[in-house]
Structures are given as structure tokens and as C-alpha cells.
Amino acid sequence: MSDNVFNKIAAMMTEIQSYTIDNAEQLEAFRIQYLGSKNAIKPIFGEIRNVPNEQKKDFGQKVNELKQAAEGRFNTIQTLLKKQSQSEAAADIDLSAPAYSGFGGARHPIATTMGKIIDIFERIGFVVAEEREIEDDWHNFTAMNTPEDHPARDMQDTFYLKDSVTRLLRTHTSSVQSRMMTANKPPIRIIAPGRVYRNETISARSHCQFHQVEGLYIDEKVSFADMKQTLLYFTREMYGADKEIRLRPSYFPFTEPSAEMDVYWGLESETDYKITKGTGYLEILGCGMVDPNVLSNCGIDPDKYSGFAFGMGIERQAMLLYNIGDIRLLFENDIRFLKQFQSVI
Ligand code: DAH
């Protein structure tokens, strides 16, 4: 009888040692079989009463060995399987894949729009001129045929510097015209991109800061036809050959005659509606023949030279190009807004 029990133990030891455990499911089955609450070793313990006294010690040892063998196999194989699944996970990583580089930044839509405009004019010989944002009254207004009592000064609500009546934040890039004309001799052919400031209430359509690109061409015998052709070239390049444009007579103190140019944009989206004030036309620039007074204010002989100038707003063009419905988005630098321009070059 006791031989029988010892044989049982030996058979179970073989079973434990040869049990096939190749995966987690088999390991779990093994655990339930030999280490679980109703495991197969337990009933063997109960057989102790059939073992003669002198063999009881030996029996106890042998049964314990069974338990230890089961625990040992379980722990070893559990560790092995863990290692295996880790290295499998590692093998899934594609080491040749490009590293995630995070948000590398994006060009701001204002910069992109300005860049496009600059490119177009550089192709026909215009040179970029950058100038100061803090200007004096003379270059911003007086030289531009807008003396102190001129009503046109009210058109542009000015930020003056604290304690100064002559120093101001430029209200338009036209101040670069007087800077260029006083410092250079014709021919002059420049474009001046930059930021301008006006004391206006901030809303979806207007802001107290915005950007313009100014253009100025002075030489002998420059005509209104040259201006029209230059601006036509610009709109064709910027908006495509089939965009409808129109010149409307207008008034600016520094040009005579003066005009404004509109591009037909369409009236499909809400943004189109808001920005074109429901007309479908987008006014993109003011322009005209440089007033002879401006030429002589800046030391250029108006009998010998003539020229044209224009000044265009950037925000509105950017808003329509990228379907941005609110000008304030352009100045808030919200990362969620900026991220959308990652693919724009
Ligand atoms: N400076 C004008 C403005 O800010 C725009 C402008 C109109 C510029 C006519 C010019 C021009 O150079 O000739 O509204």
C-alpha cells in the first residue's frame, strides 16, 4: 500500500517535470493543476494515514519535493515567458522608422502671405526696404502731403508716444516712401513690408496692429498705365489669371489721381461674407500717382520724375487665402491655430 503511494508521488514528479508549458495559457493550467486551491498534490497529503510510521518522514519529504518542484517550474517558466514577450515587443519596433520630431513650428499665415507678395514683386525688380515702426510725424504725415490740420489725419487714429507730439507708431507703411525718397535718388523701386498701428477698436474685422506692404516706383516718365499693368501682374500671380479685379477712383493725400483695387473673391462661405462686407469684392490696396507735392517735399524734382505707389493690407488677404474668419486669431498665437499651418509653405 505504501509502495503504491510512493509510486504515485514518483509518477506525479515525472508529470510535473515533463508537463508541456509553452505559453501563458499552459502555465495557468499548470498552476491550477499543481498549485491552485484544488491542486493534485493535496489529496496525496491525505494518504499519510496509510503510510507506516517509519516511512512517514520520508513520505512528508517526498510530497514537499513535489510541491517545490511545481513551484520551481512555475516560477522559472513564468520568468522565461515574461522575457520572451518583452523581446517580442522590442522586435516589433521599427528601428529604421524616422524619429518623432515633435511640433517643429509652422510659418505664420501673415509671414506666408507677405512672403508670397514679396516674391512676386522681387521678380520684376522691386527691392525690399524695411524701416522703423516708431516714426516721426513728418515722415508719416507731413512729407506725405498730410499737414497737421489736414482732415485725413483723422482717418488714421494715431498712437503717439508718451509725452510726445511728434513721435508715433507709424499708421501706414507709406512712411517708408518718404524715408526712401529723402535718402535715395531715382530710379527708386521698393516694396516695404511691415507692421502698422492704429488706435481702433479690436473686433473680428479690425485690430490695432496689422501689416501692410507698400510699393513705390519713381523714375522718369512713369505713367498710370505702368501702375495698372504692375498691379494686374501682381493679382494674376497672387490669385490666378481668371480673378476679376477692378480699380475704383478714391482719395489719398499722397497720390493724385488715387484709386483702390478690389479682387472679386466670391460669396460662398461665411468668411467671404464677413470679410468682403457682403459685396464679394475684397479691397486689397490703395494706389495712385505720387503727388508732386510729396516728390518735392522729399527733394525729388516733380518736373523730371513721376511715380506710382500702392499700399496693401496683408491680414485680409491672409484671411481669405486661408479661410480665417476672425482677425484676432492672427495675433493670439494659440498653438492649436498655428499648428494648422504646418504644411503651408
Ligand atoms: N497708406 C494708405 C492706407 O494705409 C494706403 C495707400 C494708398 C498707400 C495709396 C499708397 C497709396 O502708397 O499710393 O490706407
| Tens-place pLDDT, residues 114-161 | 999 999 999 999 999 999 999 999 999 999 999 888 876 765 689 999
Q: Among 174, 212, 294, name the best residue to mutate to test ligand 1's pocket (greatest count of ligand atoms within 8 A of Cβ).
A: 174
> Which residue has a Cα nearest atom 3 of ligand 1?
172
Point out the ligand 1 atom lying closest to the alpha carbon of residue 174: 1
Residue 254 domain-assigned (yes or no) = yes
Give SS3 for 249: strand
DSSP state of 100: P
What's the pLDDT at 221?
97
Q: Is the pLDDT of residue 322 over 80?
A: yes
pLDDT, tens digit, 9 for 90 and up, residues 25-48: 999 999 999 999 999 998 888 888
Give SS3 for 343: coil
Residue 288 domain-assigned (yes or no) = yes
The verdict on 156 and 254 lying in the same domain is yes
Nearest by Cα to 272 from 240, 316, 320? 320
Please indicate, yes or no, whether the overall pTM of this predicted structure exceeds 0.85: no
Q: Is the pLDDT of residue 314 over 60?
A: yes
Task: Supply the range of the domain harboring residue 299.
Answer: 109-333
Q: Is the pLDDT of residue 79 over 90?
A: yes
What's the pLDDT at 345?
61
End position of a domain, from candidates 56, 87, 118:
87
Choose between 211 and 323: higher pLDDT.
Answer: 211
Residue 230 domain-assigned (yes or no) = yes
Q: Is the pLDDT of residue 1 over 60?
A: no
The verdict on 167 and 209 lying in the same domain is yes
The verdict on 66 and 124 lying in the same domain is no
Calculate how far, in angstroms, residue 187's C-alpha sits from the geometric centre of ligand 1.
Answer: 20
What's the pLDDT at 271?
84
Residue 294 domain-assigned (yes or no) = yes
Mean per-residue pLDDT, 314-337: 91
What's the pLDDT at 98?
81
Q: How far from 264 is each of 164, 236, 261, 275, 278, CA to CA, in Å? A: 42, 12, 10, 12, 12
> Which residue has a Cα nearest atom 7 of ligand 1?
286
Distance of CA 58 to the CA centre of its chain: 78
The verdict on 46 and 126 lying in the same domain is no
Q: Into how many domains does the chain fold?
A: 2
End position of a domain, from candidates 38, 57, 87:
87
Percent of the chain with pLDDT over 90: 69
Residue 120 domain-assigned (yes or no) = yes
Compute the mean pLDDT over every residue in the chain, rounded to the nearest whole number: 91
Mean per-residue pLDDT, 80-91: 86
pLDDT, tens digit, 9 for 90 and up, residues 225-258: 999 999 999 999 999 998 899 999 999 999 999 9
Calculate how far, in angstroms, residue 286's C-alpha sits from the geometric centre of ligand 1.
Answer: 5
The verdict on 63 and 166 lying in the same domain is no
Q: What is the CATH number for 227? A: 3.30.930.10
The verdict on 147 and 12 lying in the same domain is no
The verdict on 213 and 149 lying in the same domain is yes
Residue 340 domain-assigned (yes or no) = no
pLDDT, tens digit, 9 for 90 and up, residues 170-197: 999 999 999 999 999 999 999 999 999 9
What's the pLDDT at 95?
82
